[in-house]
């Protein structure tokens, strides 16, 4: 994960990660957390990917993956996840995409409105 993050940091490689099927693999690491440091790195990678490819991250399950175990992470990682979530929801391309990828997590987003951190609340 650190190598992928470094590549994305050095090059505009978001499209390559999306085209090679990397996003679903990254998302799966957030749904089955085995190592906290790996999961935190994946959140960072997904947050960076949403800078250039928010729709691709959304359509590959990124929103659900980032929100599934959000409370498990440290506050800084929660904030990164919410930045990515905001980018994805702002980029929803169609009603069909909204129904498939955003509506299923609306209740989770609503519960974040009572989060202790104002930055998380604002992003929700």
Bigger pLDDT: 10 vs 32: 32
State how far Cα 115 lies from the chain centre: 18
Q: Specify the length of the chain in residues.
A: 124
pLDDT in tens, 56-113: 999 999 999 999 999 999 999 999 999 999 999 999 999 999 999 999 999 999 999 9
Average pLDDT score over residue span 34-43: 92
Q: Quick one: three-class SS letters along the chain? A: CHHHHHHHHHCCCHHHHHHCCHHHHHHHHHHCCCCHHHHHHHHHHHHHHHHHCHHHHHHCCHHHHHHHCHHHCCHHHHHHHHHHHHHHHHCCCCHHHHHHHHHHHHHHHHHHHHCCCHHHHHHC
Structural Rg of the chain based on CA atoms: 13
Q: Could you give the percent of the chain with pLDDT greater than 70?
A: 86
Bigger pLDDT: 21 vs 113: 113
The pTM for the full model equals 0.86
Bigger pLDDT: 33 vs 17: 33
Whole-number pLDDT of residue 22: 87
């Amino acid at each position: 994960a650190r190598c992928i993050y470094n590549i994305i940091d050095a090059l505009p490689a978001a499209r390559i990660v999306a085209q090679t099927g990397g996003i679903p693999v990254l998302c799966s690491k957030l749904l089955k957390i085995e190592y906290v440091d790996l999961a935190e790195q994946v959140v960072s990678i997904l947050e960076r990917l949403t800078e250039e490819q928010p729709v691709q991250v959304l359509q590959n399950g990124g929103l659900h993956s980032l929100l599934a175990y959000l409370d498990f992470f440290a506050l800084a990682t929660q904030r990164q996840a919410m930045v990515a979530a905001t980018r994805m929801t702002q980029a929803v391309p169609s009603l069909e995409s909204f129904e498939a990828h955003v509506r299923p997590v609306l209740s989770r987003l609503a519960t974040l409105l009572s989060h202790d951190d104002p930055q998380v609340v604002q992003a929700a």
